[in-house]
Amino acid sequence: MASNRNRSWPGLILLVALSGLFISPFVWMLSTSLKHESRIFSRPGEPPQWIPTTEKMDAEGRRLVTYQGQTGADLGRADTGRHALLVDGQEIQAWPEEFEIQQQLGLHWQNYVSAFEMMDFMVNLRNTLFICFSAVLGTVLSCSLVAYSFARIPWKGRNAVFVLCLATMMLPYQVTLIPLFALYSKLGWVGSFKPLIAPYLFGTPFYIFLLRQFFMGIPQDLSAAARIDGCSEFGIFARIVMPLSKAALATTALFMFLFQWGDFLNPLIYLQDSRQYTLAIALQQFQSQNESAWGPLMAMSTAITVPIIALFFLTQRTFIQGIALTGLKG
Amino acid sequence: MTRAERRNLRNGLLFASPYLVGFTAFMLYPLAASIYFSFCEYNVIHAPIRIGLANFRVLFFDDARFWRALYNTCFYTAFSVPLGLGVSIGLAMLLHRKVRGLAVFRTVFFLPSIVPIVASSVLWLWVLNPDSGLLNGMLRQMLGIDGPGWLADTSWSKPSLILMSAWGVGGAMVIFLAGLADVPQVLYEVAEIDGAGPWGKFRNVTLPMLTPTILFNLVMGLITSFQYFTQAYVMTGGKGGPDDSTLFYCLYLYRNSFMYLRMGYASAMAWLLFAVILAATLVVLVSSKRWVYYHGE
């Protein structure tokens, strides 16, 4: 709305407020991931602490090692407890009024270290990347071949097959889930990466559709000219259509990567040994075993999220265009 | 058939062969098997035993948890889908004003939708933590209210998940942004000449022009929310608690198939899910003739 351009202060203020709201869980995640365990749980009445402070110092540089020592009640006093201070390597006890607390920014990277160790992060990362890249490669290759057939080769029965392909998108995956599990377990594939990769070597309707729409837009004259020059159908596909479709192929690869990176259900069903876990499933398992280890949990969540955010910044245009493409032409 | 036609048929089938093979192996066979299993007692280990309509009979008449799961899913859908549409249209409208730093705002709203669901679920578990979570902390600090127990409270657990779903509407927002960009500027100018204010322009120009996009996002939203699973699994440890209040349809389906090994029963559930999704989609599509406006028709 050009008429509203730059004029609407309430709109801008609302935008800033809403984006603060949307981003606050991320900031909270990052902040918690860098907090010392003693600072993660808030005491009753304490407001949320955004800046991680691992340790507290008083003005004389005495380090506060425990926030609460003996309670006041134990010592016959009604006020809050004594604190332990570390002075020259020795713990001394002091009442809150005997020293002044200065909040110090302190980033507690230990959460990342313990999360990485407890989760076998590098192994999980390698598994995830292996599955991601296999599925991406398989999808891009198979879907572009099939899409080429649907978009640029007029063969008898093509439209019927294409409609069938679209119709299968309507089916919820739960319908085929159990027979596929039964099939893979008969093949002895359960507990391996095969069930996570094999289906993607044969084309996925959504991406076939996306690529077909894109291939349709490439002028037929180019194919005709190449055909006159004696180029085979595969030659036209590989040397003309594919190089002209980099944007759509990139969108396909990106969306598939993203899907595989975060996929939960399939790894949950098919992976049994923790050495095979992907990051997503490893995080969930870690969470279910360490329900209140919020520091390492947030560190892990951050570690899984940051690559996706980085990927988004690197490929922002492909992303936005891709979503608009799938949405508007769907 | 001419030579060219024959060549095209051969090439066409050759290029499409990955899908033809995949369709047979990963779609046609499983579909047939799934129909068969839904009339069987089957636990993967032993061969399926045919039991006629017993699975469906038990589902309809003897399984209160099935109805509970269906109710929970419908409740979630009924609130999260309209809320998601409202939030994503609202954000798209705000962003469409071509404010400074548009890319930054767009990124902020979009990012939650691409974060791995397991990570965002773990994050929201922490945000919704009754004692030390961000949400209750902010409620206490800014409004002085003691927030509820969220996921720990049977009456707040579904609203918690609905709230969380509104955070992930970035994909729909981007689609609405593209839809907004396609609204011809001239329509706003005409509306302005006719004396329409901002609300009049929204009500009589933007909204009608957006209806095809709303239809798309509505259908996608329905389909996704009937299949709601990962968040519920991660945030309740796969149990759907407290007191089955977050036992969603697909979570119950998963529990039946992979925890109780009632694969036949779960297959019957899968087909009922398909029927429900199909019915909901058809209702929306049929009704869309009344409310979707296609410009240029």
Domain that holds residue A91: 55-103
Statement to judge: residues A20 and A61 lie in one domain = no
> Tokens in use for A185?
């377990």
Q: Are A185 and A321 within one domain?
A: yes
**Cβ–Cβ gap B132/A41 under 8 Å:** yes
Q: Please report the pLDDT score of residue A91 as a whole number.
A: 66
State whether A129 and A276 are in the same domain: yes
With a cut of 80, say whether residue B248 has pLDDT above it.
Answer: yes
Residues A253, A286, single domain; the answer is yes
Which residues in chain B are contacts of A320 at CB distance < 8 A?
Answer: 106, 110, 174
How far apart CA A153 and CA A225 sit, in angstroms, is: 15
Instruction: Supply the pLDDT for residue A9.
Output: 79
Dihedral class, residue B67 (left if φ above 0, else alpha if ψ from -120 to 50, else beta): alpha
Judge whether residue B271 has pLDDT over 80.
Answer: yes
Q: Compute the nearest-CA separation of A81 from chain B (Å).
A: 21
Give the confidence band of A170 by pLDDT, cuts at 50, 70, 90: confident
**In the predicted model, is pLDDT for residue A8 greater than 80?**
no
Determine which helix (DSSP H) or strand (DSSP E) holds A84, and give its type and residue range. Answer: strand A83-87
Beta-bridge mates of residue A85 = A64, A92
Poorest-confidence range of A9-13, A65-69, B76-80?
A: A65-69
Q: Do A172 and B233 touch (CB under 8 A)?
A: no
pLDDT in tens, B204-239: 999 999 999 999 999 999 999 999 999 999 999 999
Same domain membership, residue A81 and residue A163: no
Question: What six digits make up the tokens of B184?
Answer: 């011809």
CA distance B52 to B41: 9
Mutate: best of A125, A128, A194, A202, partner B, most B CBs <10 A: A202
Average pLDDT estimate for B190-215: 92
Q: Are residues A31 and A174 in the same domain?
A: no
Verify that A225 and A265 share a domain, yes or no. Answer: yes
Asked if A178 and A249 sit in the same domain, the reply is yes
Using the predicted structure, report yes or no on whether residue A69 has a pLDDT greater than 70: no
Residue B43 one-letter amino acid: N
Closest by CA to B232, choosing from B255, B248, B254, B253, is B248
Least-confidence region, from A82-91, A200-209, A259-268, B105-114: A82-91
Q: Provide the 3-class DSSP secondary structure of residue A91.
A: strand
pLDDT at B26: 93
Q: Are residues A186 and A253 in the same domain?
A: yes
How open is the CA angle A172-B178-B116, to the nearest 5 degrees?
45
- Residue A54: pLDDT band (50, 70, 90) is low
Residue A57, strand partner residues? A63, A102
**Chain A to chain B Cβ contacts (< 8 Å):** 296
Question: How large is the ipTM?
Answer: 0.91
Between residues A80 and A308, which one has the greater pLDDT?
A308
Longest CA–CA span in chain B (Å) reads 81
Closest CA to A27 of A291, A305, A292, A258: A305
Identify whether the C-beta of residue B172 lies closer than 8 Å to the C-beta of residue B82. no
Q: What six digits make up the tokens of B29?
A: 């066979």
Report residue A40's pLDDT band, with 50, 70 and 90 as the boundaries.
confident
Tell me what the pLDDT averaged over chain B comes to: 93
Structural domains of chain B in order of their starting residue, each with its CATH number: 63-291 (1.10.3720.10)
Tokens encoding A271:
């992976």
DSSP A81: P
What is d(CA B93, CA B176) in angstroms, rounded to the nearest whole number?
8
* Per-residue pLDDT reduced to its tens digit, A96-120: 666 655 566 778 888 999 888 888 8
**One-letter amino acid identity for A103?**
Q
Task: Determine the Cα–Cα distance for residues B137 and B103; give it in Å rounded to an integer.
Answer: 30
Window 292-311 of A, Cβ < 8 Å to B: 294, 297-298, 300-301, 304-305, 308-309
Last residue of a domain, one of A50, A73, A89: A50
Number of domains composing chain A: 3
User: Is A176 in the same domain as A163?
Assistant: yes
Based on the domain organization, do A97 and A7 belong to the same domain? no
Strands ordered across the beta sheet of A83-87: A90-94, A83-87, A63-66, A56-58, A101-103
Residues 6+ apart with CB under 8 A from B83: B162, B165, B166
A92: enclosing H helix or E strand = strand A90-94
Q: In angstroms, rounded to a whole number, what is the distance separating the alpha carbons of residues B96 and A2?
A: 9
Percent of chain A clearing pLDDT 90 (strictly above): 58
Of A5, A179, A202, the CB nearest to B98: A5
Residue A111 is encoded by which pair of tokens? 């959460």
Same domain for A169 and A310, yes or no, is yes
pLDDT band, very low/low/confident/very high, at B267 (cuts 50, 70, 90): very high
pLDDT surpasses 90 at A249: yes
Q: Looking at residue A319, which CATH number applies to its domain?
A: 1.10.3720.10
Encoded amino acid at A267, one letter:
P
Q: B153 or A323: whose pLDDT is higher?
A: B153
Between positions 62 and 91 of A, the ones with CB within 8 A of B are none
Compare CB distances from B118 to A164, A185, A280 and report the shortest one's residue.
A280
Choice among A169-183, A315-329, B10-24 with the minimum mean pLDDT: A315-329
Cα end-to-end span (Å), chain B: 39
CA–CA separation, B108 and A20 (whole Å): 9
